[in-house]
Amino acid sequence: MSEKHLKTKKLLKIIGISALVAGIACVITGFVDFFSSIGEGMPKLFFLMFIGFPLTAAGAMMTIFAFRREIQSYTMQETAPVFNEATKSMSPGFQTIANAVSTPKKTCACGAENPAENTFCASCGAKLTKTCPSCGEQLNANDAFCGKCGNKLD
Ligand SMILES: [Zn+2]
Ligand SMILES: [Zn+2]
């Protein structure tokens, strides 16, 4: 943002707030005068309301325009932690799913899935590991090739 633009924004803020305050003051003065002069003839300051309303509206518009950036960043700051909290509260669920997907499993010949650390199938009792005859690596019973040396297994 340029220096000139910042100055314009700052000026707009001052004018906007001043107009807003002056406008509200005019409306209140006109309003009070209107009611206080009931039965005493024409209210002298009632015309202030006609100045006050557009002045308040214009002031409010200028203020909103001048503070738009601040309002936006404030809204962003307000919503960001909420979003982070929501993500955080959801993450244990995601973690469980991620773990379930990423945990290596040993699939037995019977089709049962066993945890990677199991040596025997929890479903049928078959041996889940075999030793590579070439390098001695412990492998899944249904591996076709040794993952370490590439030896074809039977
Ligand atoms: Zn099995
Ligand atoms: Zn091997």
pLDDT tens profile 12-44 = 889 999 999 999 999 999 888 888 887 777 777
Distance 59 CA to ligand 2 centre (A): 80
Q: How many angstroms separate the alpha carbon of residue 147 from the centre of ligand 1?
A: 22
- Residue 126's identity, in one-letter code, is A
- What residues flank ion ligand 1 with Cβ within 5 A? 108, 110, 112, 121, 123-124, 126
- Predicted TM-score (pTM) above 0.75: no
The residue type of 24 is I
* Closest ligand to residue 108's CA: 1
CA distances from 80 to 71, 85, 89, 106, 119 (A): 14, 9, 14, 42, 48
- The tokens for 95 are 């973690």
Res. 145 pLDDT band, cuts 50 70 90: very high
* pLDDT recorded at residue 150: 94
According to the model, what pLDDT value does residue 75 have?
76
Which residues lie below 8 Å from residue 56, measured CB to CB, with a gap of 6+? 19, 20, 23, 24, 26, 27
d(CA 61, CA 56): 8
* pLDDT confidence of residue 10: 86
Using CA atoms, how far apart are residues 34 and 96, in angstroms rounded to an integer? 69
- Residue 35 Cα to ligand 1 midpoint, Å, equals 92
Ligand nearest to the CA of 143: 2
- Smallest CA-to-CA distance from 66 within 3, 15, 4, 23 is with 15
Closest CA to 55 of 82, 20, 101, 5: 20
Q: Which carries the bigger pLDDT value, residue 75 or residue 12?
A: 12
Residue 61: other Cβ atoms inside 10 A: 13
Q: What is the pLDDT of residue 121?
A: 92
